[in-house]
């Protein structure tokens, strides 16, 4: 998967930004992969908890505020590692009160 200079390979669990290796935790990689594959669809914090926790949380599992805050922390760490500009994000957009979505593709 590629988007605005970011490349993710799920099978090898490798990520690069502008061709340079990007060191991500397992949770960060899983969150970023989930957002990328959603192709602009808004992902709620509960959806992202499930993506980060994998098999530990099924569709009916209780998602606590602590779980959602953990997602917020991981997203913050991702933004730092991706060197996101808060005024013009290339990868992760916040949808207030709902969750996150992939930023639009940029030309060039």
What confidence tens digit (pLDDT) does each residue in 28-84 have? Answer: 999 999 999 998 899 999 999 988 887 666 677 788 899 999 999 999 999 999 999
- Which overall architecture, per CATH, does domain 26-102 show? Orthogonal Bundle (1.10)
What confidence tens digit (pLDDT) does each residue in 3-36 have? Answer: 999 999 999 999 999 999 999 999 999 999 999 9
Q: What is the pLDDT, as a whole number, of residue 86?
A: 84
Decide: pTM greater than 0.75. yes
Q: What is the pLDDT, as a whole number, of residue 61?
A: 77
Phi, psi of 58 (to 5 degrees): -90, 180
- 65-81 vs 45-53: helix axis angle to the nearest 10? 80
Region 75-103 average pLDDT? 94
Q: Sign (positive/negative) of CA torsion 28, 43, 11, 66?
A: positive
Q: What is the pLDDT, as a whole number, of residue 106?
A: 81
């Amino acid at each position: 998967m590629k988007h605005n200079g970011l490349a993710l390979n799920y099978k090898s669990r490798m990520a690069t930004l502008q061709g340079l290796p990007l060191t991500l935790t397992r949770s960060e990689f899983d969150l970023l992969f989930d957002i990328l594959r959603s192709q602009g669809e808004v992902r709620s914090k509960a959806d992202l908890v499930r993506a980060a926790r994998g098999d530990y949380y099924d569709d009916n599992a209780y998602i606590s505020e602590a779980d959602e805050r953990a997602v917020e922390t991981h997203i913050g760490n991702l933004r730092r590692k991706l060197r996101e500009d808060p005024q013009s994000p290339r990868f992760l957009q916040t949808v207030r009160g709902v969750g996150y979505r992939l930023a639009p593709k940029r030309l060039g």
